[in-house]
Structure 1
Amino acid sequence: MAKTKLAGNDVQLAGEFLGKEKSVKNFTAVKQDLSEFSLEDFSGKRKVLNIFPSIDTAVCATSVRTFNQKASELENTQVICLSFDLPFAHKRFCGAEGIENVVTGSLFRNPDFAKDYGLLIEDGPLKGLTARAVIVLDENNKILHAKLVDDITHEPDYNAALAVL
């Protein structure tokens, strides 16, 4: 089983985090307008999955802002920001911050995503949320980069993730 840390304390995750060179399972998430989208909706594009516990925390918000800025520089690439936050929280945050270059997706209708991707936090104060990770996929959903952040309080390595594109 995968592990990460939260402020230096061990956190157990359900399942195994995905490794490079695999293809990922399709999933659905909920947009800000409450409609659903799936990974397959972005077929033919490269995808950056920015996965985090909650958009209402400083580090998670920073990752969305940073990927929003960097996404505008990427060709044939869609950044998808995923958490268990309700779509209303995503809409409020993105509206207030002027976030327009990423798609946000709430996982509240698809709790299996976190288990399937090895990111469901099983203990500690964030139990039931997703750990922080970045997964970069090619046009056929093959993993080019997959990094579970070593401590949930740390930002992802944006440059390492985007370098594979």
Structure 2
Amino acid sequence: MNLSLHLRKTYPNSEDYRLSKQQFGNKLYGMTHIILADSGYYQRQVSEQEHQWIYDYFRRNIDDIIQHTKEDIIAEVGISFLLAGLEDDPVVAKARAAITKSIDKRHGMIPSVSGDFDFAYGEHRNVLAIMLLDWQPPYEGQMLKPTLNCSNSCPTV
């Protein structure tokens, strides 16, 4: 079974009301990471049509996503649209507004859920916010082939 089908079977939309905040976040995290993986992790644009069910879900539920999840997930939802070339989609505007609102002006960053400003613990959330707010289109970098340096005892593949 492919990942998309497995995710939909594990988290059917009709059962969203039963999910805890953590489970809802896990569902969204899985959905965004299907798109992020398809993009080669920000290296190429994705096709909205290939992930239509995800984009449709995000469009229908963006207000709940903003209300019930952390900033990293909100940013990843917005970035998912940017990766499909959908910068003018209302979801992007809503995600950007929510992220902008969450930035502490004095510290210039988004605090943790506990209000902490230690960048070491907030790097992921804040880098995603920067990516969403100052979007640069994907640029396919050089794909390096993995190399093994194992002399005569390399495993056969």
For the criterion TM > 0.5, the same-fold answer is no
Normalising by the residue count of structure 2, what TM-score does the alignment of the two structures yield?
A: 0.26
CA radius of gyration, larger in: 2
Higher helix share: 2
TM-score of the aligned structures, taking structure 1 as reference length: 0.25
Larger RCO: 1 or 2 (CA < 8 Å, sep 6+): 1
User: More strand per residue: 1 or 2?
Assistant: 1
